[in-house]
């Protein structure tokens, strides 16, 4: 089998964000350049640093939303029941905070992996291969492992899903940590940025080997041409100020893709809007991409759809797929002015039409974990 046969392609996508259910809703929201933030009605917020998040109306159920996006991705990929039954599931999600409030005997029978197994059964998949709860790189780590399984021939096809819906436990946690933006605006890479805002995000992709996709006549949406993971080894919750871990992840992803920095046409950054994260990520981009960084457009779409924690890598992978299709780079919303610690070519005001061939999607997490995905046009 040739290297081209083992190339990893994306053949199906399902997504839900605060803009609505389905990729069309996400695409319309990005194109409109209006942030989806508004008052949270799911729980009282008067005790917290802000009362704002990017949420779907009503009280959506995460398990139901996960089932919907997995089915949506499998249907778009055109998988038959038999092909679904051969595909394992990798899942990224937050550990259910309600479990910790149950009796100890019940907690022991409530492993988070059981929810992935039930989701796999409900969607007719092979089974739950693994569940990732490693914070904001959970989804992108799962995508990277799926790619390894396919590239090495362990599997021809893997379904990856991730989900987070804004809940009071995490809202309280991030508020207590003074991470939520008190002015109700997420201003990634901007002067005057004050923190992040949470947002709903649920998504799924079908990844396949190019040979397996071609054998059944599937048309790839994109190629996952490179991925990289690296740790900061610096601090339990602060990113390395020079972005060393993130820079290594970017370098590994580019090497695996066989690309140079000049080949990258857009960066969908992690960009949480916190002072430390944005300056660290800017330093990482400058270190990894060198002088080419000045000509590469960058935006953090968290400024539009919020930070969906364990699902952020999946929601932002969906954004990169839409960018490759539309050729329009979404804006970096909430910008007040330049910051010397974030000297990047930010997409501001309105979407920029560029039609990139290769895009870079970045995520970082507590503990110093970093991921980089290179997604290419098919």
- Is 270 an annotated catalytic residue? yes
Annotate 225-285 with DSSP letters as a single string: EEEEEEE--S-SSSPPTT-HHHHHHHHHHHHHHT--GGG--EEE----S-HHHHHHHHHHH
**How far are the Cα atoms of 67, 112, 162, 339, 371 from residue 124, in angstroms, in the given order?**
10, 19, 17, 49, 29
Catalytic option among 240, 270, 335, 358: 270
**Distance in angstroms (rounded) separating the CA atoms of residues 239 and 184:** 23
Q: Which phi-psi region, left, alpha or beta, contains residue 311 (left: φ > 0; alpha: ψ -120 to 50)?
A: alpha
Q: Using DSSP bridges, classify how beta strands 369-376 and 358-365 pair: parallel, antiparallel or unpaired.
A: antiparallel
Classify burial at 336, counting beta carbons within 10 Å of its beta carbon; exposed 0-12, middle 13-18, buried 19 or more: exposed
Neighbours of 277 (CB within 10 A): 26
67, 119 in Cβ contact below 8 A?
yes
Catalytic option among 74, 123, 136, 342: 136
In 3D space, the residue among 242, 244, 223 whose CA is nearest the CA of residue 232 turns out to be 244
In 3D space, the residue among 366, 377, 378, 376 whose CA is nearest the CA of residue 133 turns out to be 366
- Is 305 an annotated catalytic residue? no
Catalytic option among 94, 240, 305, 307: 307
- Is 240 an annotated catalytic residue? no
Tokens 């610096």, residue located:
234
Catalytic machinery residues: 136, 270, 307
């Amino acid at each position: 089998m040739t290297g081209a046969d083992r190339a990893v392609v994306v053949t199906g996508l399902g997504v839900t964000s605060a803009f609505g259910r389905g990729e069309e809703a996400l695409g319309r929201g990005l194109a409109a350049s209006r942030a989806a933030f508004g008052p949270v009605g799911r729980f009282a917020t008067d005790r917290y640093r802000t009362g704002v998040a990017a949420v779907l109306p009503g009280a959506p159920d995460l398990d139901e939303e996960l089932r919907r996006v997995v089915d949506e991705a499998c249907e778009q990929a055109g998988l038959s029941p038999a092909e679904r039954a051969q595909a394992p599931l990798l899942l990224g999600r937050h550990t259910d905070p309600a479990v910790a409030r149950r009796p100890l005997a019940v907690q022991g029978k409530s492993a988070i992996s059981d929810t992935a197994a039930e989701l796999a059964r409900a969607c007719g998949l092979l089974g739950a291969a693994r569940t990732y709860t490693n914070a904001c790189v959970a989804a992108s780590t799962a995508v990277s492992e799926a790619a390894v399984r396919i590239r090495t021939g362990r599997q021809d096809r893997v379904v990856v899903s991730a989900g987070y819906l804004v809940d009071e436990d995490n809202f309280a946690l991030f508020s207590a940590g003074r991470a939520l933006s008190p002015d109700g605006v997420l201003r990634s890479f901007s002067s005057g940025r004050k923190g992040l805002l949470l947002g709903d995000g649920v998504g799924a992709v079908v990844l396949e080997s190019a040979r397996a996709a071609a054998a059944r006549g599937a048309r790839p949406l994109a190629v996952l041409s490179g991925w990289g993971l690296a740790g900061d080894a610096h601090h339990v919750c602060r990113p390395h100020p020079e972005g060393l871990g993130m820079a290594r992840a970017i370098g590994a992803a580019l090497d695996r893709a066989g690309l140079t920095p000049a080949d990258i046409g857009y960066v969908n950054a992690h960009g949480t809007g916190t002072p430390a994260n944005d300056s660290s990520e800017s330093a990482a981009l400058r270190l990894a991409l060198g002088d080419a960084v000045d000509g590469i457009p960058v935006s953090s779409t968290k400024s539009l759809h919020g930070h969906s924690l364990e699902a952020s890598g999946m929601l932002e992978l969906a954004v990169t797929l839409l960018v490759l299709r539309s050729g329009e780079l979404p804006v970096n919303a909430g910008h007040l002015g330049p910051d010397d610690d974030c000297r990047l070519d930010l997409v501001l005001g309105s979407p920029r039409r560029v039609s990139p061939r290769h895009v870079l999607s970045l995520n970082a997490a507590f503990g110093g974990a970093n991921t980089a995905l290179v997604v290419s046009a098919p």
